[in-house]
Amino acid sequence: MKQLPAETIRLLSSSQVITSVTSVVKELIENSLDANATSIDVKLENYGFDKIEVRDNGDGIKVADVPVMAVKHYTSKISCSEDLESLTTYGFRGEALGSICCTSEVLITTKTAADTFSTQYILDSSGHVISQKPSHLGQGTTVTVLKLFKNLPVRKQFYSTAKKCKEEMKKIQELLMAYGIIKPELRINFTHNKSFSLQLT
């Protein structure tokens, strides 16, 4: 037997966390809800394989947290295993953003109430920031996911038929409706290819 290279281990474990377009949308929405967002916009292009974008008006990410925001096992939500007894957030494992970075190309734009303007960060496959520039967006966070599963042909292969893609769109709509039902005060907007759109208020 041989030990797998670290990069392969990362990719395989990421593909267990991020299994579908729906799982990306679910993780990003839950991050928005954990950040106290009251309005969330979800935009997909080509069923999410070209682009998934989730924009919220939540708390934003502090400048000090930016270098580790997408590094695996970094979280702002718990500090030790005892905290698992009193969870108040959807996330706590610090795995979602890191796993999404490993399986796609990710940009994060964010602004907190303390920041004077928003900043867009480009991340590499290990979740580290490779570049940044000022942006015009208001308070909150926008995560843009490009070329999902570009390095996981087996996951992409699963969606090779139009039927599978349409089923996935239906799953996303059902997921959004479920959040709409448990959070009646939340505004959710969902668009696919600029043509289809669904508004839940």
Helical spans, DSSP H, in the chain: 6-17, 21-34, 96-103, 153-157, 162-182
Q: What is residue 131's DSSP assignment?
A: E
Nearer to ligand ADP, 62 or 150 (CB): 62
Question: Cα–Cα–Cα angle for 35, 15, 59, nearest 5°?
Answer: 10
Strand 187-192 relative to strand 39-45: parallel, antiparallel, unpaired?
A: parallel
* Residue 61 interacts with, from ligand ADP, Mg ion, none (CB under 5-8 Å by kind): ligand ADP
The span from the CA of 126 to the CA of 167, in Å, is 31
User: Would you count residue 77 as binding ligand ADP (CB under 6 A)?
Assistant: yes
User: Would you count residue 56 as binding ligand ADP (CB under 6 A)?
Assistant: yes
């947290």: which residue's tokens? Answer: 65
Q: Are 38 and 29 in contact (CB under 8 A)?
A: no
Tell the smallest beta-carbon distance from residue 163 to Mg ion (Å). Answer: 30
* Residue 127 interacts with, from Mg ion, ligand ADP, none (CB under 5-8 Å by kind): none
For the chain, give the number of residues: 201
Nearer to Mg ion, 31 or 104 (CB): 31
Q: Which of residues 91-120 bind ligand ADP (CB under 6 A)?
A: 91-98
Q: Which range, of 43-51, 56-64, 148-156, 165-173, touches ligand ADP by CB under 6 A?
A: 56-64
Q: Which range, of 61-69, 128-136, 153-161, 167-175, touches ligand ADP by CB under 6 A?
A: 61-69
Nearer to Mg ion, 96 or 106 (CB): 96
Phi–psi pair at 104, nearest 5 degrees: -165, -175
Q: Which residue ranges make up the site for ligand ADP (CB under 6 A)?
A: 27, 31-32, 35, 56, 58-61, 65, 69, 75-77, 91-98, 141
